[in-house]
Amino acid sequence: MLKSTPARLILEDGTQFDGFSFGADRSVSGEVVFSTAMTGYPESLTDPSYSGQILVLTYPLIGNYGVPDTSVLDEATGLPKFFESDRIHIKGLVISDYSFQHSHWNAIKSLSDWLKENEVPGIFGVDTREITKIIRERGVMLGKLVQETDYASADAMPFHNPNAENLVAAVSCKDTITYTNPEAKRRIVLVDCGCKYNIIRCLYTRNATVVRVPWDYDFSTLDYDGVMLSNGPGDPALCGVTIENIKRAMTQKPNRPIFGICLGNQLLSWAAGATTYKLKYGHRSHNQPALEVGTDRAVITSQNHGYAVDPTGLGEGWEPYFVNLNDNTIEGIRHRTLPFFSVQFHPEATSGPVDTEYLFDRFIELIDQYKNK
C-alpha cells in the first residue's frame, strides 16, 4: 500500500486540484495534455513526443496491470519489447484512481515504483475528466504538480513552457544506429526526432535494414532507398537544420521516397514551403477521425501534437493528403508526382488504433518502384 501524502495540480489559470502523491516525491512544471486511451500507459509514458509534458489519463483506473520488464528485448531489433523508448519522457502523471494492486502475466513492478525509478511524480484522486474539459474549453495550458512539502513555495515556482526549448535535440539519438535485417531488400534512413520504437519495428518487419540517424544528421550523403522522418516533441520551427537536410535530399535524390510521421509531417511541410502554427487545443487522443483526401475513406487515428500545418505556402505539386474530420486541419501532405508524403497521426500507434498501418506498405511499394526503376 502506498503512503498517500497530499499533492496538488495547479493550472496556469489558477485552477487547483487536490489529490494524493505517488511515484517520485518531487514537484515539476510543464505543459498539461491528456490521452483518451483505455490501455497502453507503458507505451505512452515512454513516447518521446510527450517530452516536457504533464500527462492526464482520462481513463479512470490506471496501474491495474503494472509494468513489464524493461530488460526484455525484441529478438530481431534488440529494442525493449514492451516500450516505445528507453525511458519515461513525461514530466508528471495525473490520474483519477490508482490501482494499489496490479496483476498481469508479464508485470514485474508497479506503476508507482517505475515512476520512482525514473524520478517522475504522479498524482491520483483528482477529476481527470474535469481537467480535460478545462483544457478543451480554454486551450493549451501550463501546469505545476506540487508536493505537499512545497505548498508554501508553490506560487514562486515558475510555469515552465517546454515548447520554448529544442526538445528534439534532447530526445534524439546521439550517434548512428543500424538495425540490420539479414533478409533486407531495402535500406531505409530513419531521421530520429524522438522516434517511437514501433516505427523501427514496422520498417524492420517489412524486410528493411533501418539506419537511425540523429535529428541534425545530413542524411543526403548516405546511400539509401527511402527516408523515414519520425515523430517527436515540440515546435518544428526549431528544427531548421533538419528542414534544410530534407530540402537537400528532395533536390539531390528526388526519386527516393520520403515518409513523415507526426513531427515528420510538419518538417516535410516546412521543406515543401508551408509553415506551422500552434493549435489552441492540440490533438490529444486515440480516436481522432481523419479523411483521406479524394476518397470516402475515414480512419480512426492516434495523435499527440500541439502544432498544425498551414498549407497555404505549399510549393507546386504538393497537396493535402488527409484532413481532420473534427476541425478540418491538415493531417498530411503528399506530392502529386514525386514519392514524398507524410501524415500527422501515428500509423505505428502503440497503444492505439492500427487503421493506418497500411501506409507503411505504401511506403515500401514506393521504395520498390524506385529500386525497380
Query: Could you tell me the mean pLDDT of each successive run of 10 residues in the chain, 373 residues long?
Result: 84 96 97 88 94 94 95 94 96 96 95 97 96 88 97 96 95 97 96 97 97 97 96 96 97 96 98 95 87 95 93 95 95 97 94 90 97 86
d(CA 320, CA 308): 12
Distance of CA 14 to the CA centre of its chain: 28
User: From the centroid of its chain, how far is CA 113?
Assistant: 24
Quote the pLDDT of residue 86. 94
CB 66, CB 98: distance < 8 Å: no
Distance separating the N- and C-terminal Cα atoms of the chain: 63
Q: What is the dihedral of CA 51, 52, 58, 64, to 10 degrees?
A: 60
Give the residue among 190, 232, 197, 192 at the shortest CA–CA distance from 50: 232
Question: What sign has the CA pseudo-torsion 138, 140, 142, 145?
Answer: positive
Q: Decide if 229 contacts 193 (C-beta within 8 A).
A: yes
Q: How high is the pLDDT of residue 326?
A: 93
Task: Select from 249, 268, 248 the least CA-distant residue to 260.
Answer: 268
What per-residue confidence (pLDDT) applies to 2? 54
CA distances from 42 to 3, 84, 87, 234, 292 (A): 23, 8, 10, 21, 30
- Cβ partners under 8 Å of residue 26, min gap 6: 119, 121, 147
Residue 307: what residue type? Y
- Biggest distance spanned by C-alpha atoms of the chain: 68
CB < 8 Å & 24+ apart, contacts of 113-116: 113/67, 114/67, 114/88, 115/22, 115/23, 115/24, 115/88, 116/23, 116/24
Domains of the chain, CATH where assigned: 6-163 (3.50.30.20), 167-371 (3.40.50.880)
Q: Which residues contact 322 (CB under 8 A, 6 or more apart)?
A: 290, 291, 292, 293, 299, 330, 331, 332, 343, 344, 345
Structural element, H or E, at residue 45: helix 41-45
Residues 6 or more apart whose CB falls under 8 angstroms from that of 264 comprise 191, 193, 228, 229, 230, 231, 232, 342
Dihedral sign, Cα of residue 88, residue 89, residue 91, residue 97:
negative
Active site residues: 262, 346, 348
pLDDT value of residue 353? 86
What are φ and ψ of residue 203, in 5° steps? -75, -45
Q: Which are the contacts of 316, defined by CB distance < 8 A and separation ≥ 6?
A: none
Q: How far is CA 257 from the centre of its chain?
A: 22
